[in-house]
Amino acid sequence: GAGVSQSPSNKVTEKGKDVELRCDPISGHTALYWYRQSLGQGLEFLIYFQGNSAPDKSGLPSDRFSAERTGGSVSTLTIQRTQQEDSAVYLCASSLALQGGGYTFGSGTRLTVV
C-alpha cells in the first residue's frame, strides 16, 4: 500500500483480556518496528523484524507482549492479560533497511484498558 496501515485505530478492552493489533507495512519494506507512546511521552521501542532474521525483542516490557510477522509482511502485536498501564498508542513503522530516508510510521492504534 501507499503507507503503513494499522488496525484497529482505537481499541477499548477490559483489564485481563487479550488484544491483537495489526500492522500492514509499505510493500517492499524489509524491516518492521513496533513502538509504544504513552500520553505526552516520546516513543518507546518494543520490537523489530528484519527479513528472516530473529527479531530484536529487547524492548518488550514483559512476557505478556509478543509479536509475529507472517510472510515477511503483516505483523501482529499481541498483549495478553492486559493491564491499565498498557493503555497507550501503539505505533508501527517500516523501513527499507540499508538506506536512508527515515522510517515510515502508521497512525497507530490507541489502546485503552478499563
Partner 1 sequence: GESVGLHLPTLSVQEGDNSIINCAYSNSASDYFIWYKQESGKGPQFIIDIRSNMDKRQGQRVTVLLNKTVKHLSLQIAATQPGDSAVYFCAENNAGGTSYGKLTFGQGTILTVHP
Q: Binding mask 28-47 vs partner 1 (x if CB under 8 A, - otherwise)?
A: ---x-x-x---xxxxxxx--
25: Cα separation from own chain's centroid: 11
With contacts defined by CB under 8 A, name the span among 17-25, 66-74, 78-86, 87-95 that binds partner 1.
87-95
Euclidean distance between CA atoms 81 and 104, whole angstroms: 30
**CA proximity to 98, closest of 16, 28, 7:** 28
- Out of 21, 60, 69, 106, name the contact with partner 1 by CB under 8 A: 106
Query: Is 95 among the residues that bind partner 1 (CB under 8 A)?
Result: yes
Cell output for 4: 503503513
For CA atoms 36, 73, 63, 15, the dihedral sign is positive
**Nearest CB to partner 1, comparing residues 80 and 87:** 87
Residues near partner 1 (CB under 8 A): 4, 31, 33, 35, 39-45, 48, 50, 56, 58-59, 91, 93, 95-108
